[in-house]
Amino acid sequence: MKNNLFVIGDSFCRDTFYVKSRINEIKSFWVEDLKKRFNNIDTLCDGAPSRDLQTIIDTWIKLIKHIGKDDYLVICVPYFRRSRLPFSKNNYHHIEFKNINIVNRFVGTHSSKGAELEFWGKNYKYEYFLNQLSVQEIINSSYASQINYIEIIESLYHLTNGKKYVFSWDEMDIKSDFIEDKNIITKNIGFWETHRDVFYETDGEFGLENDVHWSFRMNEFFSDYVFEKLTK
């Protein structure tokens, strides 16, 4: 049976082709590049803007029974404080992959603007939810919550078949031997570059001022880096 690549995370697991690239620069997205490096391996990529860690962990748990010893898994861990809201039933997001059906029933609070929600529908302004969930976000960022999540991730790592790589674009307060954060990745790759960095480097000609997602160059280097991690 052909092996698979599973990628679960937030907006760092989506392309940013909407950003203007530098002259003669190829618009690169690390998941697509990684797929090609694995000879166009069958790939399930599930990323959403502002997605919270609990939703990512939920999907990981649901996928465990489908991940074989020859498969590959990449998990993107956002910062811990994020909260989530439930979609209305008719707005669930379905991802079909072979015999797998992933159902996303939640939206990250900071990307909920305009979403149709359970209980609330579209009757409340975006700022209402930010205010209502501010305490939840404080709790999520507590050391107790961070340690708990890290223990869950480490347990899931051991329970999951195949080759795994777990990373975070955040500078984590609490470190784990099973999660590479921004500091580790920057040290190992040799740099960290965002679309915002490109914007200021080129005096606004390329990149995007308020976009802290990886630049196309960073995407290319990161795909090489992850491929080496998964195949060593």
Range in 8-12, 123-127, 221-225 with the lowest mean pLDDT: 123-127
**Residue 1 has what pLDDT?**
52
| Number of domains making up the chain | 1
Q: For 161-167, what is the mean pLDDT?
A: 98
Length of the chain: 232
Residue 111: per-residue pLDDT: 96
| Residue 23 within any structural domain of the chain | yes
CA Rg value for the chain = 18
For residues 71-85, give the mean pLDDT: 98
How far apart are the C-alpha atoms of 181 and 170, rounded to whole Å?
6
CA nearest 20: which of 223, 193, 215, 220? 215
Residue 158 included in any domain: yes
More confident residue, 91 or 2: 91
Decide if pLDDT at 53 tops 90. yes
**pLDDT bracket for residue 2 (50, 70, 90):** confident
Look at residue 74 and tell me whether its pLDDT is greater than 70: yes
Residue 207 lies in a domain: no
Residue 224, in any domain of the structure: yes
193 found inside a domain:
no
Domain containing residue 94? 4-187+215-231
For 115, phi then psi, to 5°, come to -75, 145
Q: Is residue 199 in some structural domain?
A: no
Query: Are 60 and 76 within 8 A, CB to CB?
Result: no
Q: Is residue 77 part of a domain?
A: yes
- Please tell me the predicted confidence (pLDDT) of residue 166: 98
Kind and range of the H or E run holding 222: helix 216-231
Dist. CA 22–CA 109, nearest whole Å: 33
The CATH number of whichever domain residue 110 belongs to comes to 3.40.50
**Cα 87 to Cα 115: distance, rounded to the nearest angstrom:** 7
12 touches 47 (CB < 8 A)? yes
Residue type (1 letter), 41: I
Residue 196 counted as domain residue = no
Instruction: Determine the average pLDDT of the residues in 36-62.
Output: 97
**Region of residue 136 (left: phi > 0; alpha: psi -120 to 50; beta: else):** alpha
230 pLDDT higher than 90? yes
Helix, strand or coil, per DSSP, at residue 41: coil
Quick one: what percent of the chain has pLDDT higher than 90? 98
Distance (Å, rounded) from C-alpha 4 to C-alpha 70?
A: 8
